[in-house]
């Protein structure tokens, strides 16, 4: 990995399809890279210690907690953040389901849930309720009680599999 004096490093990666090249401190977290250096504030600071999931992004298709991931670990990676999930101005079915089910109150947790579910659906297009619950249980929502979030996850699953929901 190319480094600069004083422990800065040159990071190249793709974010939501756009190629980026930045000079950053070696200790920059991926979450701070996204929010501070790239202005992508959809990924949220929640706990900052890897417990809540609000900062979840996809790195080469896999969910990662960006608050406890060094940006340097994303060298040459393909990143997807919540800003890149909608395609062509249309909400992703997961986002549409959250909207239709009113599955957010403050909404602070929502990007993390959307990204965690996207990773699941990308890997397992028709997950069971137990698999949905396992993913949802790894993210913290302090407002909704999870009932509507589960309803949204189920709706997204049904719509994405061509079933009515
Ligand atoms: S902010 Fe990253 S897990 Fe909570
Ligand atoms: S809607 Fe507020 S934390 Fe989930």
Report the pocket of ligand 2 as residue ranges, CB < 6 Å.
104-109, 141-144
d(Cα 31, Cα 20) in Å, to the nearest integer? 15
Whether residue 116 has its Cβ less than 6 Å from ligand 1: no
Cα–ligand 2 centroid distance for 61 (angstroms): 25
pLDDT one-digit tens code per residue, 120-151? 999 999 999 999 999 999 999 999 999 999 99
- Of the ligands numbered here, which is closest to the C-alpha atom of 54? 1
Residues 115, 73, single domain; the answer is: no
Residues 107, 153, single domain; the answer is: yes
d(Cα 30, Cα 67) in Å, to the nearest integer? 6
- Best mutation site among 44, 107, 145 for ligand 2 pocket (most ligand atoms within 8 Å of CB): 107
pLDDT band at 161 (very low <50, low <70, confident <90, very high): very high
Residues 31, 62, single domain; the answer is: yes
Whether the CB-CB separation of 139 and 113 falls below 8 Å is answered with: yes
Q: 125 in a domain, yes or no?
A: yes
Beta carbons within 10 angstroms of residue 130's beta carbon? 7
Q: How many domains is the chain built from?
A: 2
Residue 50 pLDDT > 60, yes or no? Answer: yes
71-105: b (≥16 Cβ within 10 Å) or e: bbebeebebbbbbbbeeeeeebbbbbbbeebebbe
Residues 156, 103, single domain; the answer is: yes
pTM: 0.94
Domain span holding position 42: 5-83
Cα–ligand 2 centroid distance for 150 (angstroms): 13
Residue 1 pLDDT > 60, yes or no? Answer: no
Q: 73 in a domain, yes or no?
A: yes
Q: Which of 58, 63, 70 is nearest to 9 (CA)?
A: 70
Whether the CB-CB separation of 65 and 112 falls below 8 Å is answered with: no
pLDDT one-digit tens code per residue, 81-112? 999 999 888 999 999 999 999 999 999 999 99
Q: 109 in a domain, yes or no?
A: yes
Whether the CB-CB separation of 85 and 11 falls below 8 Å is answered with: no
Residues 61, 102, single domain; the answer is: no
Whether residue 67 has its Cβ less than 6 Å from ligand 1: yes
End of a domain among 28, 54, 83?
Answer: 83
**HSE-CB of 123 using CA atoms within 13 angstroms:** 14
């Amino acid at each position: 990995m190319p480094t600069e004096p004083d422990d800065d490093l040159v990071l190249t990666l793709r974010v939501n399809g756009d190629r980026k090249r930045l000079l950053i401190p070696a200790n920059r977290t991926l979450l701070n890279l996204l929010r501070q250096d790239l202005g992508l504030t959809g990924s949220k600071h929640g706990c900052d210690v890897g417990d809540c999931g609000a900062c979840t992004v996809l790195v080469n298709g896999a969910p990662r907690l960006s608050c406890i991931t060094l940006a340097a670990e994303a060298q040459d990676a393909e990143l997807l953040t919540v800003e890149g999930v909608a395609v062509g101005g249309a909400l992703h079915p997961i986002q549409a389901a959250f909207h239709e089910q009113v599955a957010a109150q403050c909404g602070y947790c929502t990007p993390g849930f959307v990204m965690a579910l996207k990773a699941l659906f990308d890997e397992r297009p028709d997950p069971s309720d137990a698999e949905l619950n396992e993913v949802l249980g790894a993210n913290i929502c302090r407002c909704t009680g999870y009932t509507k979030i589960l309803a949204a996850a189920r709706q997204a699953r049904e719509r994405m599999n061509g079933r009515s929901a």
